[in-house]
Amino acid sequence: MPADEPEPRRRGLRHLRRYRRGRHSAARTRTGLYSAGVVIAFAAIGSLFLSPSPGTAPDNTVAQAETAYQSDGERAADAENRASRGDARRGDEPGRQPSSPAGTQPKQSPAQSPPSPANTTAAAPPKPATSSPTVHSPVGGLAQTEMNNAVTIIQVGQQLDLPHRAFVVAIATALQESHLRNLANPNVPDSLNLPNEGVGSDHDSVGLFQQRPNWGSVTQLMNPAESARRFYAALMKVSGWEQMPVTVAAQTVQVSAFPDAYAKWQTLAEQVVSAVA
């Protein structure tokens, strides 16, 4: 302040400065009190949330209980996992069945159960269909039994896929040898015990073609189909038999004492083959 300023004015300025300083000090005091109140309030609120309620255990007791609970839970889960792995291993072992409670009987799996009668019936192979042989009416004055034997001779030739001329040669031969009858022979006693249609007496010859033991067993030669099969096998070995006369082809196979006797049966043999084949 200038030295020449009057004294009253100097005193007023000092008073004004003191007044201003006092006002600022009061404001700072109020601000500090307000801040302290806020801090105290937050501290009180925090203590309400953080302080344990009456009857509860201290923090360390709660932590110990939680740790014990977790340990028990982990032990139970570990035991369950071990049991599951054991069941899985037992299930993977072949032929091992899970144990059953005492006093109970384990159930059989579907694969072990016995098949039902319906399944057994379905699995059985079907029986082959049987058909009665075709019966042809006799031709050329033949008896029905003789005609039936002729049909058998022709059917065997068809099974061997032979031409009709082979059937004619075979029928003509059987007509000359036995007149298409399956003959037994007293000189071959076993032939008498087999199905037959009469008795012949030519040495030890038997059957439709009067074949001797060098052609096969008695049972084979007394079987019309088997004796016909053996005749055809011998005929197929004759070179050029297809171009030979019927009597020559038959004689080459049979080696008969009457080589020309087969010729008289050629016409009837052709008639029979035409009626059947």
Predicted confidence at residue 220, as pLDDT, reads 98
Q: 3-state SS string over 149-203? A: HHHHHHHHHHHCCCCHHHHHHHHHHHHHHHCCCCCEECCEHHHHCCCCCCECCCC
Tokens linked to 184: 């037994």
- pLDDT, tens digit (0-9, with 9 covering 90-100), for 152-176: 999 999 999 999 999 999 999 999 9
Lookup: tokens for 85: 């792995």
Q: Are 59 and 52 in contact (CB under 8 A)?
A: yes
Supply the pTM of this predicted model: 0.54
User: Per-10-residue mean pLDDT for the chain, 277 residues long?
Assistant: 53 55 53 59 59 48 48 59 55 45 44 45 46 79 97 98 98 98 97 96 96 97 98 97 96 91 96 95
Tokens coding 219: 């049972």
Nearest to 246 by CA among 259, 229, 227, 228: 259
Residue 52 sits at φ, ψ, to 5 deg, of -70, 145
| Residue whose pair of structure tokens reads 């006092």 in the numeric block | 22
* Tokens describing residue 69: 């609970």
Burial string for 176-199 (b: 16+ CB within 10 Å, else e) reads bbbbbbbbbbeebeebeebebbee
Q: What is the pLDDT of residues 20-43, one digit of tens each?
A: 555 555 555 555 555 566 556 666
* Count of helices and strands (H, E) across the chain: 10, 0
